[in-house]
Amino acid sequence: MGLFDRFKRVVKSNINEMISKAENPEKMLNQLIIEMNEQLFESKKSVATAIADEKKLERQLNEHLSLGQEWENKARLALKAGREDLAKEALLRKQDYDNLAGQFKTQWTAQHEAVERLKSALRQLQQKIEEAQRKKNLLIARAKRAEAQKKIQETIGSLSNTSAFDAFDRMAAKVERIEAEADAVQELSDFTKDASLEKQFEALESSAAKGDLLLEEFKRKEGLP
């Protein structure tokens, strides 16, 4: 399994587990970013190890190329000195180092190509994580808005229960009945007051009329006009 296949598998596993248990989207997203950065850090360490291996192979390649060149120089020196036997030995040594250098070059080339792919994948991964960090606040805002809308809908749903409104209607009817009773009592009280006042005037008028009759009777007796 490749480095970044493993990264995706670990992150996907963590995401699935976190989403299945998610109660607080903000907390989940923050934790997810932390998980991704931790995995990115581990991936960088692996890439750094691959780069170190590449550098080691390159160094060994250059060392064997240098040694091969040294033995070639020695073969040239031996020929100038008329020592063909030494020149042959030197050329055989050069051939050994050249063969080893060729093997190191093959390994270095493969490692270099792998490292370049890892670097490219690492850059892409870092960009995706940075993008995820930028999107985090937007997702958190959306989650909060969705939660608020959910609460509003729940409130509206609870208000759709007519029992509460029926209670208000019953209370309104009761208040109206009490108000009508109060008006009736007031009207009755006013009527009673009016009736009492009329009786008082009737009594007064009756008393005045009786006084007039008595006065007229008395004047007749006295022979007064």
Condensed to tens digits (0 to 9), the pLDDT of residues 7-47 reads 555 555 555 555 555 567 778 888 888 888 888 888 899 99
**Domain assignments of the chain as residue spans, ordered by start:** 3-160, 162-225
The pLDDT mean for the chain works out to 79
Q: Is the pLDDT of residue 108 over 90?
A: yes
Residue type at position 72: E
Backbone angles phi, psi at 23, to 5 degrees: -120, -30
Residue 36: which of 173, 130, 166, 160 has the closest Cα? 130
pLDDT tens digit sequence for 131-153: 888 888 887 888 778 878 888 87
Q: Assess whether pLDDT exceeds 90 at residue 103.
A: yes
pLDDT of residue 1: 47
| Average of per-residue pLDDT across 195-212 | 65
| pLDDT the model gives residue 91 | 95
Q: Does 175 have pLDDT greater than 90?
A: no
pTM, to two decimals: 0.54
What is the predicted pLDDT for the residue at 149?
Answer: 83
Among candidate residues 11, 33, 7, the one with its CA nearest the CA of residue 136: 33
pLDDT at residue 192 greater than cutoff 70: no
Residues in contact with 190: Cβ distance below 8 Å, sequence separation at least 6, in sequence order: none
Higher per-residue confidence, 195 vs 84: 84
Mean of the pLDDT values across residues 45-50? 92
Annotate 89-136 with three-state secondary structure: HHHHHHHHHHHHHHHHHHHHHHHHHHHHHHHHHHHHHHHHHHHHHHHH
Percent of the chain scored above 70 by pLDDT?
68
- Higher per-residue confidence, 107 vs 10: 107
pLDDT in tens, 163-174: 656 766 777 777
